[in-house]
Amino acid sequence: MLIGITLETRPGEIRVAATPEMVKKLVAAKHQVLVQSGAGILSSITDEAYATARTYLAVARIPKISPVIYRTFPLEQAAQAHALMGISGKSCLRFRHAVRN
């Protein structure tokens, strides 16, 4: 399965949905992972770190290519964000917020 990890666009969001270690596990499980260039930069994770995890880096908009997208934003915002990005009909996986402010 092709999984896309995108640069987060929500103001103030510095997390990335998957670290290079997580990507290594996905690749080991026979998935292909496409990481948007710069996706981890606000989390101090370089593109090179993802490249060593045997992933593909993309400059293009991943949502148009990948059927599954990892994100960090709350699930209730997914539909609105997808509509704005023009990616309706895609699966969006996100990690759960442990604390809400």
pLDDT digits over 1-11, tens only? Answer: 888 888 887 78
CA distance 80 to 57: 26
- Cα dist from 40 to 5, 37, 55, 69, 83, whole Å: 9, 8, 13, 15, 23
What tens digit of pLDDT does each residue of 37-72 get?
A: 899 999 999 999 998 888 777 766 776 777 777 777
* Residue 35 falls inside a structural domain: yes
* Residue 100 falls inside a structural domain: no
Query: How many domains are contained in the chain?
Result: 1
* Residue 94 falls inside a structural domain: no
* Residue 23 falls inside a structural domain: yes
* Residue 89 falls inside a structural domain: no
pLDDT of 99: 47
Q: What number is the average pLDDT over the span 85-99?
A: 57
Domain that holds residue 39: 2-67
pLDDT > 70 in the chain, percent: 67
CA distance 35 to 14: 16
Query: By C-alpha distance, which of 45, 46, 21, 18 is closest to 34?
Result: 18
pLDDT > 90 in the chain, percent: 26
Burial of 66 (C-beta count, 10 Å sphere; 0-12/13-18/19+): buried
pLDDT of 83: 61
Decide if 5 contacts 39 (C-beta within 8 A).
yes
